[in-house]
Amino acid sequence: MANRRLAPAAEQPQSFAFSSENAEWAKGQIDKYPEGRQASAVIPLLWKAQEQNGGWLPQKAIEAVADELGMPHIRVLEVATFYTMFALEPVGRFWIQLCGTVPCDSCGARELKDYLHARLGAPGHVSADGNFSWLEVECLGACCNAPMAQINQDYYEDLTPELLGKLMDDLAAGRPVKVGSQIGRTSSEPKGGPDTLTDASLFDGSRVGAWRKRFETADSKQDEAGGKAEAASSEQRAAVDPKPARPDAGRAVGTATTDAPAQRNAAGETPVPAGAKADAADTTESTAQRNKPAAPEAIAKAEAAGAEAGTQSDLPRNEPPPQPVASGANDDAAATSAPQKGN
Ligand code: FES
């Protein structure tokens, strides 16, 4: 990583001001941010100042950007010296930023660095013809096509010392060059060509709606196969376990009552008990009548009859039953009425 210092005073211009066109552009950038957040436009403004100054950022440009944004000069200097995208010294017509981070390093960046040392000398110096300067930088985000270098605004990938040398020759001569991979890779596909998504029908539109057709075909085949299997299964079951026809299936069937006169007769019992006959004949007495309290004369008659028979009447009463006589209460009377021994 190179030192990030400002160019010597002898190389610094005495002043810097945005051109009217760039000043208008800078105003548009600043207006993107809310009031009080204008400092957020510092990187685009530094970038534009570098572009206007021939590819590098002098101290006066850094101060002009700070003044434009109302920032302390040191704050903008911190930004400019942090990012290697800002060149702090004069650069050649083609500024080469060579990635030296691990993926590029392990894929051959050291050989490229040796080549640049040999051809251009130490980094940070413009070549004698003014065409080139170079700098080793950290990862530029194209590791998949390592090793790589950024030359001005473009990336050149899959480099070897030979390919880099030819590229520099072509640039210096003004010949057209190919940006991106220098070995024919498209984007970051595998070396040797793509090995996935190689079916041309994926890209010619012929697969539009194919998924629907596939599902519909599968569904209809499944339905057909299911119907055949079900029919075969029914036939097989009928052959193995035939069922008798049931013409009455589903119709209401009368069931014999369990306590009918005809059954009792057949069993040798009285078809209809006498009491049941009387009950059935008595169509006048309702349940309410049956539960109605008996008249007092009827109770008296029933009790008298019960007393004669030695039983109690079970007719319902309106009065509470008489209380039993306490034990021993009539002993005197009994003794009086009992026959005297010896009489
Ligand atoms: S390591 Fe070189 S581009 Fe990422």
Residue at 211: amino acid letter: W
The structure tokens listed for 40 are: 């957020």
pLDDT tens per residue across span 31-44: 999 999 999 999 99
Q: State yes or no: pLDDT of 47 exceeds 80.
A: yes
CA 59 to chain centre: 53
* Pocket flag, ligand 1, residue 159 (CB < 6 Å): no
Residue 28 C-alpha to ligand 1 middle, in angstroms?
33
Contact 66, 104 (CB under 8 A): no
Dihedral angle of Cα 229, 231, 237, 243, to the nearest 10 degrees: 160
State the pLDDT confidence band at 210, using cuts at 50, 70 and 90.
confident
Residue 305 C-alpha to ligand 1 middle, in angstroms?
128
What span, in angstroms and rounded, lies between the C-alpha atoms of 181 and 163? 11
- Residue 280: its pLDDT value, please? 56
Higher per-residue pLDDT: 255 or 114: 114
* Pocket flag, ligand 1, residue 143 (CB < 6 Å): yes
State the pLDDT confidence band at 131, using cuts at 50, 70 and 90.
very high
Report the first-to-last Cα separation within the chain, whole angstroms: 156
Higher per-residue pLDDT: 310 or 234: 234
Pairing type for strands 149-151 and 94-99 reads antiparallel
Q: What is the mean pLDDT of the chain?
A: 83
How far is the CA of 23 from the CAs of 18, 37, 43, 47, 54, in angstroms? 5, 18, 15, 13, 17
Residue 169 C-alpha to ligand 1 middle, in angstroms?
24
* Residue whose CB lies within 8 A of the most ligand 1 atoms, among 1, 104, 112, for a mutation test: 104
* Pocket flag, ligand 1, residue 99 (CB < 6 Å): yes
For helices 73-82 and 59-69, give the axis angle rounded to 10 degrees. Answer: 120
Residue of 68, 70, 67, 86 lying closest to 78 (CA atoms):
86
The DSSP bridge partners found for residue 284 are none
For the CA of 103, the nearest atom of ligand 1 = 1
State the pLDDT confidence band at 59, using cuts at 50, 70 and 90.
very high
For the CA of 101, the nearest atom of ligand 1 = 1
pLDDT tens per residue across span 226-240: 888 888 888 888 888
- Residue 76: its pLDDT value, please? 98
What span, in angstroms and rounded, lies between the C-alpha atoms of 68 and 197? 51
What span, in angstroms and rounded, lies between the C-alpha atoms of 196 and 190? 9
Contact 98, 113 (CB under 8 A): yes
The structure tokens listed for 79 are: 């930004």
* Residue whose CB lies within 8 A of the most ligand 1 atoms, among 85, 98, 101, 110, for a mutation test: 101
* Residue whose CB lies within 8 A of the most ligand 1 atoms, among 97, 135, 143, for a mutation test: 143
Give this prediction's pTM.
0.58
Q: What mean pLDDT do residues 10-34 have?
A: 97
Residue 79 C-alpha to ligand 1 middle, in angstroms?
22
Q: Which helix (H) or strand (E) holds 136?
A: strand 132-137
Residue 135 C-alpha to ligand 1 middle, in angstroms?
14
Domains located in the chain, CATH noted: 9-82 (1.10.10.1590), 94-181 (3.40.30.10)
For the CA of 102, the nearest atom of ligand 1 = 1
State the pLDDT confidence band at 254, using cuts at 50, 70 and 90.
low
pLDDT tens per residue across span 162-199: 999 999 999 999 999 999 999 999 888 888 888 888 88
Q: State yes or no: pLDDT of 122 exceeds 50.
A: yes
